[in-house]
Amino acid sequence: MKQLKILLIVVLATHFCLAQTKEFRQLDSIFNVLYQQNQFNGSVLIADKGNIIYEKGFGLRNETTQKENNTNTIFELASCSKQFTAAGIVVLKRQGKLNYTDKITRFIPELKQWDKVTIYDLLRHTSGIPDYIASMTDNWDPNKIATNNDVIQFYANRKDTLRFEPKSNYRYSNSNYALLASIIERVSGKKYADFLATNIFKPLKMKNTFVYNRREKPQKIDNQAIGYVWAKKSFQKVTADDPKYGQKSVYYLDGVVGSAKVNSTVGDLYKWVNALKSDAFFTPEEFAAMTEITQTDKGKNIDYGFGLDIRKGDNKFTYGHTGNWDGYTSLIYHDQIKDRTIIVLQNFNLGAIPFNNIQQLLNQSPLTPEFKKKVSLSESVLQQFTGDYTDQEEKEDKHRITYQEGHLIYNTTSADWDMRFFPISDNEFKGIRQGGADAVIKFNRDDKGKMNMEMLQNGRKIGFGIREE
């Protein structure tokens, strides 16, 4: 009987390993396709029911050294940083140093014009405060790196009015979390980075997680991923502030923390998710406040908690966040009901995430390919689609299709969109775009033999043109 039990355990263990291997291979196939098509460059960790079933790095973390991403590579989290800023506020609340209902002018008296705004409003984006990224774009010296104090002084001098009455509406604003970081510093008497390290990262043994301003205070960091974009009209990867791309804001806003600037690894973030889901760090009451769906004064649901996007319903409870800044894209997602975690960190701004396919595989549902594979077409075939296409309803602004390095490039005569498309059939081309937007261009000849183009987004026609011959 004992031998039979041992044999049964071995058989079950072998079957479990084979099942895991199958999932790994399926996921690996999907991510490899994306990597080969310039749609993925980074690290990913996927866990189901407490077990990591897929963890891997793809592509280069540094184009100069040619070193590769791996499961321990450190990435800037962009807006995924906000949940840690919110966590810092929860800790200060626990310590009795503030209340969520406190007005922000208690801590930042310089912003007296916003005396109706509370900490709750900052956390849930119901403040009406304008976004500093947009406000400072044309009103800041691009050669000077701004800090949180600069943001406060900027708005104190301008005396901007609120976009709406606090609690009457929800509008995402990076300013909310920059101000929360400043409140953390003023209440605790510590730098934002030091407070998070002492009170969150170290207790959770997140050894590779820290706040880092790579332009304001550059350091040599082992296994760090550099954020990249494609240079305009080129397939060369450069940093976003490179003149070949020209996004100056990532330079002069590099000193602002709270809305971004936390750096981490997929493994450390998995520790964070495990702490959230199990009440290992926050009390059940604290976690409930962080993940509560509230309402505006007008009765509209706010699906945003404390630095977390929240979705709740019948047998549904998920939370997480996305980020996109300075050549980095990120996703932290957890399904509390299914005990499922998806963490994706990328150092390429056009990176895609096969979220639906991951869910289908883990749910053991039929797999509907989310991203079609690139097909091989010769340069001569691709060149036959180039030219200017005129929409009869908008004749002045023409669609312009050019060819470059195996791709068709989309612009218009009035704007440089620099969108890149690769072939997925003899006459269909898939757009390489961030954020999951499903852009496709189709080409066909009409009854008169003229080449027509049709642009689709998520299956809906958004553009049409006839080529000028």
Instruction: Supply the angle between the helices 174-188 and 82-94 in degrees, to the nearest 10.
Output: 40
Residue 162 CB-density burial (10 A; 0-12 exposed, 13-18 middle, 19+ buried): middle
Q: Out of 29, 43, 79, 188, pick the active-site residue.
A: 79
Catalytic site includes residue 29: no
Hey, what long-range contacts does 424-432 have (CB within 8 A, 24 or more apart)?
A: 424/372, 424/373, 424/374, 424/375, 425/375, 426/375, 426/377, 426/381, 429/385, 430/371, 430/372, 430/374, 432/37, 432/38, 432/39, 432/350, 432/352, 432/407
The whole-angstrom separation of Cα 207 and Cα 368 is 38
Cα angle for residues 425, 426, 431 (degrees, 5° grid): 50
**Dihedral sign computed on CA atoms, order 96, 101, 105, 111:** positive
Question: How far is it, in rounded angstroms, from Cα 52 to Cα 50?
Answer: 7
Alpha carbons 387 and 401: distance in angstroms, whole number = 5
Which tokens go with 165? 């009455």
The dihedrals phi and psi of 161, each to the nearest 5 degrees, come to -85, 160
Amino acid at 306: F
Cα–Cα dist 143/135, whole Å: 16
Residue 239 per-residue DSSP state: -
Q: Count of alpha carbons within 13 Å of 29, Cβ hemisphere only? A: 12
What DSSP letter does each residue of 168-225 carry, written as one string?
A: S-----HHHHHHHHHHHHHHHSS-HHHHHIIIIITTTT-TT-EE--TTTS----TTBP
Q: Provide the annotated active-site residues.
A: 79
